[in-house]
């Protein structure tokens, strides 16, 4: 079994977050009426800021936790990750962290190896990593098979100490290491939230260890968490 998992991990690291050579791996009602002259526009707290109708319509009605990845630009690898929770009808930001996405930016038609992160809304169902479970509510699979290859730069060795699988072209309810691609290998996979190495990834989203620990210990399956991700223009569309 260990040999199978290690083999699966090697495939994932080559085709997903790992990339190729070099690694990469409040409560109340909605405001109404017009603001008075010179006043700031009213804030609609029933929506997460920066997310337009196209993507907002894809957020499940029962979701009470949203991780938003605000990409700096369509061709940029820089981003901000923010966690929002719903209280009554209103959404409140809990935390945010500097982050990175695919080194070539974003795409609405992700393909394996394009070094761009997929724009969209995806559920968050499973987690894991090299390190022991930090107290995650999501199912957590601790396994040394997550370890990044040591022929990668040393700065990348801890990328997968903590991982949250983004449910893009994967089977929910399995370890993030599961190599199954329901929509085919060409559409890529192994798109994860994982620990940051200071620059863009192959397609994943990366943030600090502290950020990953916070998400792992606060994301709750009962709150039906999702990630809404993309560059700011696509998010607002």
Q: Has residue 95 got a pLDDT over 60?
A: yes
Query: What pLDDT is stored for residue 27 in this prediction?
Result: 31
- Alpha-carbon dihedral sign for residues 148, 150, 155, 158: positive
Q: How confident is the model at residue 169 (pLDDT cuts 50, 70, 90)?
A: very high
Residue 9 domain-assigned (yes or no): no
- Domain range enclosing 140: 65-236
Query: What pLDDT is stored for residue 74 in this prediction?
Result: 98
Q: Has residue 2 got a pLDDT over 70?
A: no
Domain tally, the chain: 1
pLDDT tens column, 47-57: 999 999 999 99
pTM: 0.86
Residue 6 domain-assigned (yes or no): no
Residue 41 domain-assigned (yes or no): no
Given a contact cutoff of 8 angstroms between Cβ atoms, the answer to whether 94 and 220 are in contact is no
Q: How confident is the model at residue 204 (pLDDT cuts 50, 70, 90)?
A: very high
Residue 153 domain-assigned (yes or no): yes
Residue 37 domain-assigned (yes or no): no
Residue 50 domain-assigned (yes or no): no
Residue 178 domain-assigned (yes or no): yes
Given a contact cutoff of 8 angstroms between Cβ atoms, the answer to whether 126 and 176 are in contact is yes
Residue 91 domain-assigned (yes or no): yes
């Amino acid at each position: 079994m260990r040999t199978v998992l290690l083999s699966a991990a090697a495939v994932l690291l080559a085709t997903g977050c790992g990339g190729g050579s070099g690694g990469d791996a409040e409560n109340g009602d909605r405001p109404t009426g017009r603001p008075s002259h010179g006043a700031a526009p009213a804030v609609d707290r029933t929506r997460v800021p920066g997310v337009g109708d196209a993507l907002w319509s894809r957020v499940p009605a029962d979701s009470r936790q949203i991780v938003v990845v605000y990409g700096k630009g369509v061709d940029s690898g820089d981003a901000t990750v923010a966690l929002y929770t719903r209280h009554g009808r209103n959404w409140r930001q809990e935390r945010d962290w500097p982050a990175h996405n695919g080194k070539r930016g974003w795409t609405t038609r992700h393909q394996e190896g394009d070094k761009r992160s997929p724009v969209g809304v995806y559920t968050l169902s499973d987690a894991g990593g090299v390190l022991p479970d930090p107290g995650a509510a999501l199912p957590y699979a601790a396994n040394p098979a997550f370890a990044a290859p040591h022929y990668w730069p040393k700065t990348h060795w801890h990328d997968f100490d903590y991982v949250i699988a983004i449910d893009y072209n994967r089977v929910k309810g399995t370890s993030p290491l599961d190599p199954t691609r329901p929509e085919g290998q060409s559409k890529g996979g192994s798109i994860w939230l994982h620990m940051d190495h200071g620059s863009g990834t192959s397609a994943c989203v990366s943030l600090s260890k502290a950020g990953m620990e916070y998400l792992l210990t606060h994301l709750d399956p009962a709150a039906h968490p999702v990630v809404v991700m993309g560059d700011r223009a696509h998010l607002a569309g």
